């Protein structure tokens, strides 16, 4: 199974309980990399087929897949 990196936003009503929400996210399959408590954001990775279960956790506002953008090195030809 492929894992995808995600950013999970916690809704305002549950920011005070972010630790409990994070534990529920772990139980739903999220491998937590970082918890940004003051911002209400949890980052990590999850199996692609388990992603929808993260949205069902109480206190989750949104789940977004991280995107990677690469730029050519400075001084390279424009493509």
Render pLDDT for 62-78 as a digit per residue (tens, 0 to 9).
999 988 888 888 888 76
pLDDT of residue 76: 81
DSSP string for 6-21: EEEEEPGGGGGGHHHH
What is the DSSP secondary structure assignment for residue 74, as one 8-state letter?
T
Residues 3-65, CATH architecture = 2-Layer Sandwich (3.30)
Model's pTM, two decimal places? Answer: 0.83
- Which residues does the chain have with pLDDT short of 70? 1, 78-79
pLDDT of residue 68: 82
């Amino acid at each position: 199974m492929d894992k995808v990196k995600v950013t999970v936003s916690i809704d305002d009503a549950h920011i005070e309980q972010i630790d409990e929400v994070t534990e529920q996210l772990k139980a739903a399959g999220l491998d937590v990399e970082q918890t940004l408590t003051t911002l209400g954001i949890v980052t990590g990775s999850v199996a692609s087929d388990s992603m929808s279960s993260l949205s069902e956790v109480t206190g989750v506002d949104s789940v977004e897949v991280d995107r990677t953008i690469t730029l050519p090195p400075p001084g390279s030809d424009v493509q």
